[in-house]
Chains A and B, each alone.
Chain A
Amino acid sequence: MTLDQILLMRHELLLIITAVIVVVIELFTERDNKSVIIPSVVFLFLLVTLAGFLPIDTGKLFGGSYQTSDMIILMKNSLNIGVLIVLIQSAGWLKHSFGNFDNAGGYYFIVIASLIGMQYMISAGDFLIFYIGLELATIPIAALAASEKMKRKSSEAGIKLILSAALSSGILLFGISILYATNGSLFFSSISADNLNSNLQVLAFIFIFTGVAFKISIVPFHLWTADVYEGAPINISSYLSSISKASAIFILVILLFTVFRSLLPVWNTVLYFTAIITMTIGNLFAIRQKNLKRFLAFSSIAQAGFVPLGIIGGTQLGVASVIYFLLIYIFSNLGAFGVVSAISNATGKENMDDYDGLYKTNPRLSLVMMLSLFSLAGIPPVAGFFGKFFLFTAAAVQGYYVLVFIAVVNATISLYYYLLIVKAMFINKNESPIETIVNDNYTRAGLFICVLGILFIGFAGVIFEFIESVSKGIS
């Protein structure tokens, strides 16, 4: 194996190096001087993110266990951007929860470790690497979810996350083992070369789908979501709902289009119905939420319900629209979580009533929140409109009009509850609104990146064209 071949793993290698450097910095800084960790990690990660965009070869490694393509690289870069925003946004929380930044190094190390897991998972060429990546992506997050040790809800979130992760892994492994038993191989390429059609193989598919569906929190595998998001620190919730969800959808797309290609009629049916119940249940539950973290949890469940519209039918246009939608979703969701986190850090308030009259005292935060929510709801001219529109187009072109109809009705329902927050901020009167918050530069930078993404990704036709061109390989 030459150096060139090893460098195919550039994304992962850079992350590993970053993780090691984080540990080193953590070791060699004085106890009073821990705050230096934040800028250095953010700066390092910015470099890693930028380096991800440099031209890179594609190919296979380790006899096909590891593979990259232009599309996979694009997925990794989207995740990197999202994590960069999360890392920046976490600064405020780290300062607020751990006055002297005691945990900063550990926190950053764990997040980056989890990201390494995701990137290996997306790049996997066989089920072994896939499984290792998946576990590496999830288990560290459980530790972070429980990191606010003094709060019962935080511990509960950690336990819930680890238990549901373990359960889903079990189901997933069962599926993988059935597939191995019927096929004799763990490699994606050799499994997909076989024509999967026996009932046992369909069963294996269902198990594997279920395992991944837990991570995406597709209904009915969503029951852990709201409790974990509510209990975990906000930045972990935003990481789970954006990055973790997006990476699971990425690997689902890859699995469906490569390994389970021959089961297309089966997974079309599965996606059709899970899409409908996921959107509907997510939306109906979101309407009743008063706590904003729970609210965003159900909203993110509903958002995931739109994704199958692009996957269904298995077209290149569909895959492109899924990646595009997720890219926009990462920015919009992180924008909304960023505002909730900024306000929660400053005041500890997380309920919808607390946001009454927010525009009077914090016009900028309110505007960012409004843009993010409009983007989530799919209102032009912000990016969310384009993301949703293309998903709907991809499904409609193949004749799934009923599904599209249900989806647009759901989009209208979701607009209702997103408008409730807009109403609270702009219209409702409040005797004692949240006082004016002075944000630190990290929060500002994090929100600024989100707003840039929300405003410009939609208009930039080139981005969609680029995504479309790299998703050629898959179908």
Chain B
Amino acid sequence: MDLIYLILIPVITVISIVLSENRKQSRVIAAVGTGLQLLFSVYLVVLYLTERGAGNLEEMLFSHKYLWFSSLNIYFSTGVDGISVSLILLTSVILFTGVLASWDVEYLYKEFFISLIVLATGVFGFFISLDLFTMFLFYELAVIPMYLLIGIWGSGKKEYSAMKLTLMLMGASAVLLVGLLGIYSYSSPTGATPLTFNIIEISKIHIPIEAQRYFFPMVFVGFGVLGALFPFHTWSPDGHASAPTAVSMLHAGVLMKMGGYGCLRVAMFLLPDAANEMAWIFIILTSISIVYGAFGAIVQKDLKYINAYSSVSHCGLVLFAVLMINKIAMNGAVLQMISHGLMTALFFALIGMIYGRTHTRDIREMGGLMKIMPFLAVCYMIAGFASLGLPGLSGFVAEMTIFIGAFQNADLFHRGLTILACSSIVITAVYILRVVAALLLGPANRNFPGTKNDAVWNEKAVTFILILAIVGMGLAPFWLSDMILNSLNPIVQKLALLK
């Protein structure tokens, strides 16, 4: 079992798309390639579970090391634990549905699918990397295609949004890079071993607390910007609103998760002293993200903006949980990443489909879609219920775990902010129900062109897969949360020892 296939499959898909002759061929190749990737990810999960079931207790499974630059001790080292496996599965689900959702792309279709899959390659590479160098490489690889995807195929003020998104994320990666290089230059305290970028090796040594104090904020903010950390979240609403459907899906569904994953895996795991010491600053910031994002969503009129602000709120919850430094809350953080990834992808897919029929995203102009396109309307409702945390759907599992975990911190500061964060559930209910009412219920506005037809086969497939995943996670969360819990052990132990 070699994880490098997770990169090779997309690369081969890209090459085949380059060689394809017409639109039909390119999109079929894209669908087949990403479908294979999805099957492979499922297979990976099964393998992972059997391996763990057989009593393999290694921290990282399926790990491989390829020497790359020996004088800098840089390896291309790969390996997965429960957290990365579940995020890989999430990525491939969203990538596959994203390709299906963009079945009708006509303008520069080849370039579209190529950029989309290159972006996903970056994400897959990021999740399997155990080396800070390759991790950073894939992080940047995932950001750059975004510029073209939003700039060329986007809508609205796309050029502004694309530039803002790219510069903010690259600026964040600049801060991140300094932090990573700082970790690298402290990775050999005795000088006996060469400096290393390897995460597992660095986690076994102790970086001086003085150095951690500098590098923790850099790394956390560097990744946090991607996770829409307040006040660096402003790229996200504009970016989401301007991006084409599949890109919004991948972006909110997967790219923002890289931020949470990076904070957990690098900032918290490798710089634990400073994490314990400085968590309070970022807890305050993420609490603001959660509440502010939810309030932001209430006042928006554009469907995509509503969902984008809701993403700020939900991703704030991820970072909030990560900072709680406790196993249950962190487990909730990862569950929330997956749950939010699935439902936000569903949201954006549905918004894209609705927009394709109504040619507007302004909720004031819509109404009664339940009568015109019942299938899409029901799906939208399910997504909304998942978002506000209805039991039986994925959102409930994730948020419940987070709040239970967060409340276990006994002091007033943590509990007070947890209660504040809990209030976002109510605010979420307000904006979700408001949108559902304005959009789906009420008298039908039949003036839209092309509103007669309901979902077609590819749209049905997209919604079916995503709803299946949301319901599945809501009804049977334990295989997933067990897988994640076990993998959190090293991180939590390292943080708790120092508490």
B184 near A409 with CB under 8 A, answer no
Question: Within the assembled complex, what's the spacing in Å between the Cα atoms of A411 and B177?
Answer: 11
A464 near B178 with CB under 8 A, answer no
A374-413, CB < 8 A from B? 374, 379-381, 385, 389-390, 392-393, 396-399, 401, 404-405, 408-409, 411-412
In the complex, how many angstroms separate the beta carbon of A253 from the nearest chain B beta carbon? 18
In the complex, how many angstroms separate the beta carbon of B196 from the nearest chain A beta carbon? 12
A317 near B181 with CB under 8 A, answer no
B70 near A381 with CB under 8 A, answer no
B155-214, CB < 8 A from A? 158-159, 162-163, 166-167, 170-171, 174-175, 177-178, 181-182, 184-185, 195, 214
B56-87, CB < 8 A from A? 67-72, 74
Q: A422 interface residue, CB < 8 Å from B?
A: yes
The prevalent SS among residues of A at the interface is helix
Given A317-B71, A317-B72, decide whether A412 and B167 contact each other with a Cβ distance below 8 A. Answer: yes
**Chain A residues with CB below 8 A from B133, complex form:** 389
In the complex, how many angstroms separate the beta carbon of B74 from the nearest chain A beta carbon? 8
Interface string of B422-449 (1 = CB under 8 A from A): 0000000000000000000000000000
A465 near B70 with CB under 8 A, answer yes
Given A381-B137, A392-B181, A427-B151, decide whether A461 and B67 contact each other with a Cβ distance below 8 A. Answer: yes
Question: Within the assembled complex, what's the spacing in Å between the Cα atoms of A317 and B70?
Answer: 12
B137 near A426 with CB under 8 A, answer no
A290-345, CB < 8 A from B? 317, 320
A339-390, CB < 8 A from B? 374, 379-381, 385, 389-390
Q: B123 interface residue, CB < 8 Å from A?
A: no
Question: Within the assembled complex, what's the spacing in Å between the Cα atoms of A393 and B182?
Answer: 9
**Chain B residues with CB below 8 A from A399, complex form:** 185
**Chain B residues with CB below 8 A from A408, complex form:** 174-175, 177-178
In the complex, how many angstroms separate the beta carbon of A315 from the nearest chain B beta carbon? 11
**Chain B residues with CB below 8 A from A448, complex form:** none
Q: How many residues of B contact A (CB 8 A)?
A: 36
Question: Within the assembled complex, what's the spacing in Å between the Cα atoms of A401 and B159?
Answer: 33
Q: Could you say which of B25-33, B140-148, B289-297 contacts chain A?
A: B140-148
**Chain A residues with CB below 8 A from B9, complex form:** none
B174 near A374 with CB under 8 A, answer no
Chain B residue nearest in CB terms to A468 = B71
Question: Within the assembled complex, what's the spacing in Å between the Cα atoms of A141 and B265?
Answer: 54
A409 near B171 with CB under 8 A, answer yes
Q: A162 interface residue, CB < 8 Å from B?
A: no
Q: B152 interface residue, CB < 8 Å from A?
A: yes
B166 near A419 with CB under 8 A, answer yes
Question: Within the assembled complex, what's the spacing in Å between the Cα atoms of A49 and B71?
Answer: 28
A379 near B140 with CB under 8 A, answer yes
A256-314, CB < 8 A from B? none
Question: Within the assembled complex, what's the spacing in Å between the Cα atoms of A465 and B71?
Answer: 7
Given A399-B185, A412-B174, A423-B151, decide whether A461 and B163 contact each other with a Cβ distance below 8 A. Answer: no
A374: which of B70, B138, B144, B152 is its contact (CB, 8 Å)?
Answer: B144
Q: A415 interface residue, CB < 8 Å from B?
A: yes
B163 near A397 with CB under 8 A, answer no
- On B, residues with C-beta under 8 Å from A are 67-72, 74, 133, 136-138, 140-141, 144, 147-148, 151-152, 158-159, 162-163, 166-167, 170-171, 174-175, 177-178, 181-182, 184-185, 195, 214
12 A-B pairs whose Cβ atoms sit less than 8 Å apart in the complex: A396-B178, A397-B185, A404-B178, A408-B178, A415-B166, A416-B167, A422-B147, A422-B148, A426-B148, A427-B151, A427-B162, A461-B74
The 4 closest A-B pairs by CB, nearest first: A396-B181, A408-B174, A427-B151, A468-B71
